[in-house]
Amino acid sequence: MANLQAHLRIPGPTPLPDAVRSAGAWQMVNHRGPEFAALMGRVGPALQRAFRTSNDILLVGASGTGGLEAAVVNHLSPGDPVLAVTIGAFGDRFAKIARQYGADVTTLAVEWGRAAEPAAVAEAIGRMRDEGRPPVAVLLTHNETSTGVTNPIGSLAAAVRSAAPDALVLVDAISGLGAVPFDTDGWGLDVVVTGSQKSWMVPPGLTMLAVSARAWDAQEQATIPRFYFDLRAHREAATKGSTPWTPPVSVCFQLDVALGLMEAEGYESIFARHAACGAATRAGLMALGFRLFADPGHASDTVTAAYVPEDLDWKPFNADLRRRGLALAGGQGKLTGTVFRVGHLGYVTLDDILAALDILEEALEATGRPVERGASLAAGARAASEAGRGRIAAATDPVVAEPGSARDAGQAAPPAAQGAPDTARAGA
Ligand SMILES: Cc1ncc(COP(=O)(O)O)c(C=O)c1O
């Protein structure tokens, strides 16, 4: 049987480095014991560095949607006016969660494929204020995975701050944080949510949230009922190096290892790698004749959406791609059947993108289209190097000691000390 995972190019879950895969097989530890507390002691500060924040960071056993639900139920009360800025299917989901819990949600719906504009956000807040219902929170999406658009979160948050200084800024950063520059504290974000299966090179199972001092204060006033996602319980447990409920221990091991790999590579290098992969994907797809969906000024460096050409029957074409070992994602929500998506986040290099383009060339040629073999790879490589990022480092793949093993010497998984990036896997 063909290895369908050979080229997993969906926007999460993403491929895993070997060291992260191995950590998933480690023996369990007591999640209320010293090994787990030590892990929490490493992961918390490492995530603070990745989020660029001194705010508390909580690990919650749930998918990203659970993190969004936690952001809603901990900070809002039924009837609270909320502005949801949505630029696609995931922005719609965030709004829907708030509505489901009884918030009075006003939606600023931006045309799919475009980013939100700070002035439009300020105007929407102004209208709400004129109606006597200024928003207590504004919901923003950092990277809209359904359309392949990255919002200018810094400017959007600044617009919120000036139009509604007291409103909390709650951000879905699930599919961008960790792959592209992000500045939680610099941008004054109150709650930032991400998910383990995205840029973090970890399987699904954990959502990580950064919570500001203002947000903690707001939680005392919020009256939506909550239990599993009550972040106060999570904070209390975190002070003891634990979680209030049993966490996905293996995924926590894997996150610990992955964060070490990311720090060994360095965030600047990670951002450059994603910028190169994003540029290569866009240029390669265009060279193959595909039309891109996103506004080029806000194209995401973690996921690219392209239109399915009218004369291409997507289902059999996609089945052929899968037979050749390439897994892409289809369209979501109202874009189902209209676009397909290529994920380029997490454990990905320029070589991986070129390999995917090569398979696309083969499959297109097999449909009888005229294809200039190698042209999309050349365009992709050129775009990556034009971005000044032709030579990119990739995450290392060291063997990391299992907690309690002889090599571990009392310290679980010290991956940050595992050496320099593996340039053998670097892009051309
Ligand atoms: C931007 C964004 N928000 C929310 C989600 C939902 O996350 P999950 O599927 O982990 O619940 C995703 C997942 O793709 C996402 O990309």
Per-residue tokens: 311: 């004369």
Beta strand segments in 45-100, E: 56-61, 81-86
Q: Cis omega before residue 13 (within 30°)?
A: yes
Nearest CA to ligand 1 atom 7: 64
Q: What is the pLDDT of residue 286?
A: 98
pLDDT at 425 over 70: no
Q: What is the pLDDT of residue 196?
A: 98
64 C-beta closer than 6 A to ligand 1: yes
Residue with tokens 């892009």: 427
pLDDT at 341 over 80: yes
Q: What is the pLDDT of residue 6?
A: 86
How far away, in angstroms, is 97 Cα from ligand 1 center? 13
Per-residue tokens: 395: 């995450």
Mean pLDDT of 49-76: 98
Q: What is the pLDDT of residue 59?
A: 98
How far away, in angstroms, is 120 Cα from ligand 1 center? 25
Q: What is the pLDDT of residue 5?
A: 61
pLDDT at 406 over 50: no
pLDDT at 128 over 70: yes
Overall CATH class of domain 23-262 = alpha beta
Residue 123: closest CA among 153, 155, 91, 159: 159
Q: What is the pLDDT of residue 404?
A: 56
> Using 50, 70 and 90 to split pLDDT, how confident is the model at 322?
very high
pLDDT at 361 over 50: yes
How far away, in angstroms, is 65 Cα from ligand 1 center? 6
- Report the C-alpha gap between 347 and 342 in whole angstroms: 14
Share above pLDDT 70 across residues of the chain, in percent, rounded to a whole number: 89
pLDDT at 416 over 50: no
Residues in CB range of 154: below 8 A, 6 or more apart: 183, 186, 187
How far away, in angstroms, is 362 Cα from ligand 1 center? 31
> Using 50, 70 and 90 to split pLDDT, how confident is the model at 405?
low
> Is residue 384 within 8 Å of residue 405, measured between CB atoms?
no
> Using 50, 70 and 90 to split pLDDT, how confident is the model at 403?
low
Which atom from ligand 1 is nearest to the alpha carbon of 204? 10
> Is residue 299 within 8 Å of residue 87, measured between CB atoms?
no
pTM: 0.92
How far away, in angstroms, is 422 Cα from ligand 1 center? 30
Per-residue tokens: 355: 């390999």
65 C-beta closer than 6 A to ligand 1: yes
Q: Comparing 176-190, 193-207, 384-398, which segment has the lowest mean pLDDT?
A: 384-398
Mean pLDDT of 131-153: 98
Q: pLDDT for 86-121, tens place per residue? A: 999 999 999 999 999 999 999 999 999 999 999 999
Mean pLDDT of 150-162: 98
pLDDT at 388 over 80: no
For 342, list phi and psi in degrees, rounded to 5.
-115, 125
- Report the C-alpha gap between 76 and 101 in whole angstroms: 9
Task: Please state, as a whole number, how many other Cβ atoms lie within 10 Å of the Cβ of residue 254.
Answer: 29
Pocket test for ligand 1, best of 175, 191, 199 (most atoms within 8 A of CB): 175
Mean pLDDT of 162-172: 98
Mean pLDDT score across all residues of the chain? 92
Mean pLDDT of 302-329: 97
pLDDT at 241 over 60: yes
- Per this entry, what is the length of the chain? 428
Q: What is the pLDDT of residue 401?
A: 60
> Using 50, 70 and 90 to split pLDDT, how confident is the model at 389?
low
